[in-house]
Structure 1
Amino acid sequence: MAISYMDYTSPNTQFTYDLNSNPFFTKNSQNRINMLSVNQLNTLGNVSLLDIYLSKSNIVEPHIHQNASELVYVISGSAIVSLINPFTKKLLNFSLQPGQVANVPQGWWHYEIATTDNTHLLAIFDAPIPEFIPGSDLLRLTPAAVFAHSYCLNENQVKETLAPITDTVVIGPPNNCQPSREGAPDVEQLQQSPYPARAYHYSYAGQPYGYYPVYYSYPY
């Protein structure tokens, strides 16, 4: 749908744009996201997009788009798009190859993991500007005491576990995070193994900070 207030005779009317001119997030040269919204291309209507580049095992962290649905299209490489259906309470995992798509309804918790290097995704939204609530912000900004009280957890353990999350992650894992032991699961195993999972120990800059249980979808 075109913007009704747009003066298409104006010298400021834009019809083209180079997405490389508007980086949304950069982890490194292989893992980055460019954005296109009405702020970059003023003739856009109710549409926007993210141009996503990932190397194997990198993840667009769990998040929601509170104002838009998202259509994920694989241009090259391969990825698993995972989402939680809030009505069935099930985790759904969709393995995508080039030319395939997955749809994420508005406000649903989801994430994307590259299963090969040189993965290129296009995320298309039915909103002029996609809004983004990342899981890392929810984890780092909610007081540990609230998590502990809500779920009957040990507050000190919650603090220790979440302490390394000091900023919005966007594309994870962070550059200074490496598994501290051999045998961490392959990306595809994360989606296929039955619940519950084993716990794997991760560290930031060589400093261990705790065990993270990796949960998988039930084998329905």
Structure 2
Amino acid sequence: MAVSYMDFTAADVQFFDDVQNNRLFTRNNQNYINVLGRNQLNTLGNVSLLDIYLSNEKVVEPHIHQNATELVYCISGSAVVSLMNPFTKEIINLPITPGQVANVPQGWWHYEIANEDDTHLLAVFDAPYPQVILGSDILRLTPANVLAHTYCLNEEMVKDTLAPITSSVFIGPEDECSNRYAPIDNQTNPIHHQDYSPSINQSHYQAAPYPATYNQSSYYVNQAPVRQSYRNYSYPYQGNHSSQ
């Protein structure tokens, strides 16, 4: 892959990085995401990845990458990668186990659900700075009165329902959720579906307090790499948070 932006004679040229040092998001010690992009490894070219660890039934929340295709590779455990085909309006559930992949075309709504503990996924993108639109941000930032009016809903019920979503979720549900709600029914939960089918960014803001943590400064932002400081990696958040 050609790397036309890189001066390979520069003093800060990089050929190695430890992904485990690049924490993007932490739900708990079993559910977290590491990141690698051009801001961590400046010779990487037009590719990036997320290193994802999930326990049973944890979900990488529904989201869209508006500028990148995502290839999800299962290293250990098992998961279902679900995507909405925008042309047929169907949800496609793709179970993957170690050595198997699921491909999510650019701009398609999708999510991943772990089927067992110690699930380890690698998400590879064909962009150095993949952008993202998170479902949690759509829900919490769209005014409740707009949702209620548009979909003929009770505004107060909408407010009450969405009130717990105070920041970007990334991996859900929160650890306390199982104490409040009954588990998902096995007959309707896409975790248990085996219906494989071969057919197939935004402005800066300060996140509200939340039990989990994420590293804004290492998530993707829609901008060119910054020489000397490669901690400014991609999703559409910038901030002054130090890497974890």
- TM-score range with shorter-chain normalisation? 0.7 to 0.9
Instruction: Indicate if the aligned counterparts of 1:2 and 1:44 stay in contact, CA closer than 8 A.
Output: no
1:174 aligns with 2:151: no
What SS does the corresponding residue of 2:71 show, helix, strand or coil? Answer: strand
1:135 aligns with 2:135: yes
Deviation at 1:180, TM superposition (A): 3.7
Q: Partners in 2 of 1:19 and 1:183 — Cα distance?
A: 33
Q: Partners in 2 of 1:159 and 1:181 — Cα distance?
A: 18
- Calculate the TM-score normalised by the size of structure 1: 0.83
| Distance of aligned partners of 1:108 and 1:181 in 2 relative to their CA distance in 1, 3 Å threshold | closer
Provide Cα deviations, 1:61-95, integer angstroms capped at 9, x if missing partner.
Answer: 00111110000000000000000000000000011
Q: Partners in 1 of 2:7 and 2:40 — Cα distance?
A: 16
1:95 aligns with 2:75: no
Q: Partners in 1 of 2:74 and 2:168 — Cα distance?
A: 25
Match of 1:190 in 2: 189
Question: Match of 1:141, as an amino acid?
Answer: L
Provide Cα deviations, 1:168-204, integer angstroms capped at 9, x if missing partner.
Answer: 1100001221254656424x741267xxxxxxxxxxx
Q: Root-mean-square deviation (CA), in Å?
A: 1.7
Q: Partners in 2 of 1:182 and 1:107 — Cα distance?
A: 32
Question: Match of 2:38, as an amino acid?
Answer: V
Greater strand proportion = 1
Deviation at 1:57, TM superposition (A): 0.5
Q: Partners in 1 of 2:105 and 2:12 — Cα distance?
A: 34
Match of 2:79 in 1: 79
Question: Number of aligned pairs?
Answer: 193
Provide Cα deviations, 1:121-160, integer angstroms capped at 9, x if missing partner.
Answer: 0000000022121100100010011111111111111111
| Distance of aligned partners of 1:135 and 1:183 in 2 relative to their CA distance in 1, 3 Å threshold | closer
Q: Partners in 2 of 1:9 and 1:181 — Cα distance?
A: 57
Match of 2:44 in 1: 44
Q: Partners in 2 of 1:40 and 1:56 — Cα distance?
A: 30
| Identity over aligned pairs, percent | 64
Q: Partners in 2 of 1:181 and 1:27 — Cα distance?
A: 19
Match of 1:144 in 2: 144
Question: Match of 1:123, as an amino acid?
Answer: A
Instruction: Indicate if the aligned counterparts of 1:50 and 1:123 stay in contact, CA closer than 8 A.
Output: yes
What SS does the corresponding residue of 1:20 show, helix, strand or coil? Answer: helix
| Distance of aligned partners of 1:54 and 1:181 in 2 relative to their CA distance in 1, 3 Å threshold | closer
Q: Partners in 1 of 2:63 and 2:168 — Cα distance?
A: 11
What SS does the corresponding residue of 2:121 show, helix, strand or coil? Answer: strand
Question: Match of 1:83, as an amino acid?
Answer: L
Provide Cα deviations, 1:1-49, integer angstroms capped at 9, x if missing partner.
Answer: 2320211122211011001111010111110000001011000111000
What SS does the corresponding residue of 1:176 show, helix, strand or coil? Answer: helix
Which aligned pairs between 1:1-220 and structure 2 lie closer than 5 A? 1-180=1-180, 182=182, 184-186=184-186, 189-191=188-190
Q: Which protein has greater RCO, CA pairs closer than 8 Å, 6+ apart?
A: 2
Q: Partners in 2 of 1:149 and 1:47 — Cα distance?
A: 41
Question: Match of 2:33, as an amino acid?
Answer: I
